[in-house]
């Protein structure tokens, strides 16, 4: 029987930005999704991720601190979180809430998480998308759409966070 190792570090040798190591799959997904020829892999240790980048010719890299997934809550306490979709947000159901927002949407990213984790996941996705957009605007290369473009933690998500009993992050 094959045992599954938890992945805590994601090395991106080639994606939408410079080589980096991220701690969150949400961040990694936004950095590689839709990028032709992307090259990334998940690892259980930082050292393994660093060695992967070195083997791929990346002698220097950045460490991208994102949210940590943490332990998984019981299913009843989960909200359905859309980090990248038609409408970024936190939904109480999948079928009538999150699913229509991600179905047939390029590079959609969603997860079932507890309320506190959901807010952090959305914030992480929004920040990563804004970071990628700012880097694309500052480079000579052609930019690609990495999200809905109207994600705003303080605006669009404030009512949802309030409903969950959380402050805007």
- Give the chain's domains with CATH numbers: 1-70 (3.40.970.10), 71-134 (3.40.970.10)
Mean pLDDT throughout 7-26?
Answer: 84
Residue 106 backbone dihedrals phi, psi, to 5 degrees: -60, 135
Structure confidence by residue, pLDDT tens digits, 67-93: 544 443 344 457 788 888 888 888 888
Backbone torsions φ then ψ of 116, nearest 5 degrees: -65, -40
Measure the CA angle with vertex 98, ends 80 and 84; round to 5°: 90
Q: Which residue has the tokens 């991720």?
A: 49
For the entire predicted model, the pTM comes to 0.43
> Is the model's pLDDT at 161 over the cut of 90?
no
Euclidean distance between CA atoms 120 and 143, whole angstroms: 26
Look at residue 111 and tell me whether its pLDDT is greater than 80.
no
């Amino acid at each position: 029987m094959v045992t599954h190792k938890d992945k805590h570090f994601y090395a991106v040798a080639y994606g939408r930005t410079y080589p980096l190591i991220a701690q969150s799959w949400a961040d990694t997904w936004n950095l590689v999704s839709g990028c032709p020829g992307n090259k990334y892999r998940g690892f259980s240790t930082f050292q393994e991720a660093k060695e992967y980048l070195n083997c791929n010719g990346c002698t220097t890299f950045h460490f991208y601190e994102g949210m940590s997934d943490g332990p998984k809550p019981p299913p009843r306490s989960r909200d359905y979180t859309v980090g990248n979709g038609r409408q970024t947000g936190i939904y109480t159901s999948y079928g009538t809430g999150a699913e229509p927002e991600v179905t047939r949407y390029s590079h959609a990213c969603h997860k079932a998480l507890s309320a506190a984790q959901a807010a952090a996941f959305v914030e992480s996705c929004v920040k990563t998308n804004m970071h990628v957009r700012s880097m694309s605007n500052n480079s000579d290369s052609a930019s690609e759409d990495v999200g809905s473009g109207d994600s705003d933690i303080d605006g669009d998500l404030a009512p949802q966070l309030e409903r969950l009993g959380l402050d805007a992050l």
